Structures are given as C-alpha cells and as structure tokens.
Amino acid sequence: MGDGPGPSALKDMYGTVCVVTGANSGIGKETAKELARLGARVVMVCRDEARGREAREEIQAAAFQAAPSHGDTVDLHLADLAVQEEVYALGETLRADYERLDVLVNNAGVFLEEREETVDGIEATFAINHLAPFLLTHLVLPRLQETAGRAGEARVVTVSSEAHRGYSIDFDDINAEESYSPLQAHGQSKLANILFTHELARRLRDEGVLVNAVHPGMVNTNIWRGSGWFSRLARLFAWLYKRPEEGAQSVVYLAASPEVEKTGQYFNETEIVNPSPEAYDEKAAARLWRLSRKMTGLAEEGEGAESS
Ligand SMILES: NC(=O)c1ccc[n+]([C@@H]2O[C@H](COP(=O)([O-])OP(=O)(O)OC[C@H]3O[C@@H](n4cnc5c(N)ncnc54)[C@H](OP(=O)(O)O)[C@@H]3O)[C@@H](O)[C@H]2O)c1
C-alpha cells in the first residue's frame, strides 16, 4: 500500500462512535489511535484491565494531541471474547451506553499453536476469531442499522487474512476434536470472517451498513508471540513486516475512507481483491451462518428473538 492513505483521504469522524475489539495491542491499538485522532469517540474492547488502561492512556494522548478541545473521547470496556456470556454482556452495555454506533471493527484475534477450548466448550481459535465477531455484530446490529438510517451509513470491518487461502470450513470437525492443526484452525477462522462478511452484506444490502473484510498485510505484532514452530518461524521474518501503525492504515481506510462505497468486499490492504474460491461458496456461508447462530445461542431464524 506504499505510504497508505493520508489523513486528507479520510473522513472527519467527529461525532461518530467507533468500536474496536482487541484495542490494546498491535493493529487494533493503532486503529483506535487513528480513529481517535480523526475525532471519533473510540470504544476500546479489551480482555485485560491493566493492558487496556495503559493503551487507553496512549490512545487518549494521541487524540488530545490531534484536537486538544475534544476532551475525553476514549472509553474502555472489558470483555473476554472467548466467553460468550461476556460477549452478550458487552453487546448489552454497548446498546445501552451508545445511542449511535457508526463503526464496528472486529479486530481481536489469536493464532494458537496448541488446541485450546473455551469455557463454552468450543475450540478457541474458532470461538475468538469467528464466533465472537459473529455474535457481537448481531448484538449491536440494531444500533448500526439505526445509525445508518439517521446518518446515512454505518460500517462493519472484520480483520481477516490472506491466510484464509487454501482452507475450507471443516463442518465435520468444527471443534477440531479429531485433529488440530494451528494453520487449518487459523485459516478456517479467517475464511469464516469472509464468508460471514459476504452473508451479512447480502442480508443488509440497501440498508446503508457497509460490511467488509480486510487483510492488513504481514504486521509485526504480539500475534506471533507463541512458542510453537510457526510463531518462531514468523518471528524470524518479523523485520520484514509492517509496523502496527502501517498495518492499521488499511483497517482505518475501511472504517473511515469516503472511497469505500461497496459492501461485501474483501480488501488486500486498500485494494479490493478476490478472496479464495471457497469464500464465494454461498451454501457454505449459509451453513456457517446457521451453525454460528446455534453455537452462540442465538435463536433460530424465524423464532423471532434476534433479527439478522
Ligand atoms: N499481524 C499480522 O501479520 C496479521 C495478518 C493478518 C491478519 N491479522 C489479524 O489482525 C488482527 C489483530 O492482530 P494483531 O496482529 O494486531 O495481534 P495482537 O497484537 O496480538 O492483537 C490481538 C488483540 O486481540 C486481543 N484478543 C485476543 N484474544 C482475545 C479475547 N479472548 N478477548 C478479547 N481480546 C482478545 C488481544 O488482547 P491481549 O493483548 O489481551 O492478548 C489483542 O488486543 C487479528 O484478527 C489477526 O488475525 C494479523
């Protein structure tokens, strides 16, 4: 992406509310910082209070530096996105605390070398990288739709990855109980991000909510901190990767550029590209949607409890 979009190419976000998950580290922290500099009220979602508070100070300082008169514009909400009860509570808090939600950045993610299981009994990569953004998006969707109705637009940006290529959704062993491969689990979850993006965009067409996914490039962040062979290999090449603030540019572009007018797209940095053929499988997208509703405890469609 070269130097990326300059600030002049981005919208003035004053008066908007932007939620960023995983906002205490890496791409999420830099995305939150840039959105705050652009004038948005930034709602950070983090799982660790100390790390969250420290990052909040940094993000608020960047916002003050850009516009000293704006006051406190950075909020911190704590939620472990691996725990569905906490995602439900977060959704409720966000709906109660904010009258408008302009942007939801589903950024939080993990790369797990060993299989882990959440308290809900779900393989953790799938739970954190796919089910959490799926559920959180559903829970705040009414606010996004209302905001789009009033302000003309709202956006959902999900941070996927080129690592989705070559993988499919293993519906026969979604919990990786028979076998676990970190690359399959990660690739599958990033494919799920794009299938979800396509399906949600199809369902929300003409409602003014733009739903897109992005690969931010290879970025030198904590995601490669594991001790397994792949993380160690990834760290060997880390000097070649982008800095987090460079990686965040494309996420900010999807969140705040007036050039982004389409929905249901997959971006490699700031360019719309075709994802893998598996990402266009509408049957897989519909099946994943139904399975994800079931695994997150959302009512079956037609039962009327949740809109989608
Ligand atoms: N780095 C790359 O090269 C690259 C490439 C393609 C896509 N991506 C994607 O970019 C996104 C951001 O990753 P990053 O590279 O910036 O890594 P990172 O620095 O490790 O940031 C990940 C963020 O997600 C948070 N998180 C993880 N599990 C969570 C949970 N259960 N509940 C709440 N928050 C949780 C982390 O919180 P803690 O600090 O508490 O762990 C951290 O804030 C991920 O979706 C990743 O897949 C990264």
Question: How far, in Å, CA of 264 to CA of 167, rounded?
Answer: 20
pLDDT in the model for residue 303? 58
Q: Is 80 in the pocket of ligand 1 (CB under 6 A)?
A: yes
Q: Is 194 in the pocket of ligand 1 (CB under 6 A)?
A: no
Mean pLDDT of 176-198: 98
Question: How far, in Å, CA of 243 to CA of 221, rounded?
Answer: 8
Nearest of 62, 154, 159, 70 to residue 109 by alpha carbon: 159
* pLDDT category of residue 301 using cuts at 50, 70 and 90: confident
Measuring from atom 5 of ligand 1, which residue has the nearest CA? 218
Tokens in use for 207?
A: 């409602």
In which residue are the tokens 């100070």 written? 57
Query: For a substitution probing ligand 1, which of 31, 34, 47 has the most ligand atoms within 8 Å of its CB?
Result: 47
The 10s digit of each residue's pLDDT in 119-178 is: 999 999 999 999 999 999 999 999 999 999 999 999 999 999 999 999 999 999 999 999
Q: Which domains does the chain have, with CATH numbers?
A: 11-295 (3.40.50.720)
Nearest of 66, 71, 76 to residue 23 by alpha carbon: 76
Question: How far, in Å, CA of 300 to CA of 99, rounded?
Answer: 27
29 CA distance to ligand 1 middle (Å): 10
* pLDDT category of residue 14 using cuts at 50, 70 and 90: very high
Q: Is the pLDDT reported for residue 1 higher than 80?
A: no
Measuring from atom 9 of ligand 1, which residue has the nearest CA? 159
* pLDDT category of residue 299 using cuts at 50, 70 and 90: confident
* pLDDT category of residue 218 using cuts at 50, 70 and 90: very high
